[in-house]
Homo-oligomer: A and B are copies of this chain.
Amino acid sequence: MKLLGEKLRVVNVGVRLFYECVKAQGAEAIHVEWRPPAGGDEKLARLLEKLDRPEIDEANKKAVEKILAATPTLIDIKTAKDVIPGMTEHTILHSGPPIEYERMSGPTKGAIWGALIYEGLAKDQREADKLVASGKIKFAPCHDHDSVGPMAGIISPSMPVFVVENKEHGNRAYSNLNEGLGKVLRYGAYEASVIKRLKWMEKTLAPVLKDALKRSGPIDLKAIMAQALHMGDELHCRNVASSLIFLKLMAPHIAATGFGKKALGEVMKFMGENFLFFLNPAMAACKATQDAGHGIEHSTVVTTLSRNGTDFGIKVSGLGKQWFTAPAEIPKTLFFPGFTEADANPDIGDSAIMETAGFGGFASAAAPAVVQVVGGSPSVAADYTREMGEICLVKDGSLSIPFMNFEGIPRCIDMRKVIDTGILPFINTGVAHRKPGFGTVGFGVLRAPMLCFTKALKAMADKY
């Protein structure tokens, strides 16, 4: 009864309306954001409870240690078929989880046609389609071959690839070279100019860079990423600073190669004008890093987030090679002039490896300019980074964000936390035209689909 006599002070949990009514009547009240675990799904909540076990915490600790200790280093540029495990003359790797040709998205098909033309295996789209129908071409996810590629993520046998070694654990990862924006293979364009650029990259860019790299020695990629976080990059959609730092490190050695001044000038211009040039080595760096934490029994750490333009797929450390998939969604996009929502392909690319490793949307606070693109502000950007901290196991102090008071980026997503809180990974991404042959239509943001995580939760509960 004493309570009723006192001045009313209310802590409201759950539905906000009660809080607002209490406030409106002049009483003191605070509102606590709260949702029931697993969004109130009793079955999921019970599975979650089952996974609240010390051996899982131990396994996750191990995964975190390995991921934080990884030292991804650029050591070479080689031809894909010479270096990617399992790659043959007739293998085409693509982004995201496995998918049959028929279900592939427009940009993926366009990029495959382009790659077959580039390889000299087909003269045009019609021949390329026929070749695919013959069953001679083997498709497989980049991720299942120690590789990553942005957007369509097509890696064909003759393409030059960055060779990244995680010096700490000895594993390697590969990625193709970035073509720039506009009409480019990775966004599904396959016209003559696209093939010509790919040939120039193979015949000029790659040999010059390979030679320069021999002179410079191995390049510490994590060090570049750490610097770039202090210079406005989130390293997924904004690689402005990282690309410049990489150019700076390579430029004296490029100049020293002795290639002709035409080639040198072209290479410097190509690298300098492409603010996404460093995205690809950064992706390979994150792939080499995440792979170090993969395959640890009992671990619920998410080691892969990826999309093929049709499906979104994730992998979990303790669940081996299995993908857990759900339909890919369309990003909230800022379209380039002339394009609309109707042109956008669903989410596509291995580049969400950046978010998986704590960059991109997870490091939004480092690059408010990216959030601004889709109507956000610097404080909204900081909120995204804080929110992603809720589903991660650690903050990596060696990759800090000045405007979060030099706090580290959130790393190592725990699948259990995603389901418990209902907070889904936030991803920055390029957006492709849904038809083959068009290319880039804009930049956007979106969340990973919950279905991938609930499927993985069930598999985890089944397995252990």
Contacts and interface: CB of A to CB of B under 8 A. Distances in A.
Given A252-B268, A255-B264, A406 B372 contact: yes
Interface residues of A, number: 37
Nearest to A406: B372
B256 A272 contact: no
Interface string A301-333: 000000000000000000000000000000000
A57 B406 CA distance: 42
Q: How many copies does the complex hold?
A: 2
Contacts of A245: 244
Given A240-B231, A241-B241, A402-B232, A256 B247 contact: no
Contact of A232 (B231, B266, B267): B231
A368 B251 contact: no
Given A251-B251, A252-B268, 12 more contacts: A231-B232, A244-B247, A247-B248, A249-B272, A251-B268, A254-B255, A255-B267, A368-B403, A377-B405, A378-B406, A379-B405, A403-B403
Interface in A350-379: 368-369, 372, 377-379
B244 A402 contact: no
A31 interface: no
A261 interface: yes
B255 A268 contact: yes
A265 B272 contact: no
Contacts of A261: 255-258
A266 B256 CA distance: 9
24 contacts: A231-B232, A232-B241, A241-B241, A244-B245, A247-B247, A248-B272, A249-B272, A251-B269, A252-B268, A252-B269, A254-B255, A255-B265, A255-B267, A256-B261, A256-B262, A256-B264, A256-B265, A257-B261, A258-B261, A264-B264, A368-B403, A369-B402, A377-B405, A379-B405
Contacts of A369: 230, 402
Nearest to A249: B272
A253 interface: yes
Q: Of residues A255, A269, A377, which shows the largest number of chain B Cβ atoms within 10 Å of its Cβ?
A: A255
Contacts of A244: 241, 244-245, 247-248
Q: Of residues A252, A254, A368, which shows the largest number of chain B Cβ atoms within 10 Å of its Cβ?
A: A252
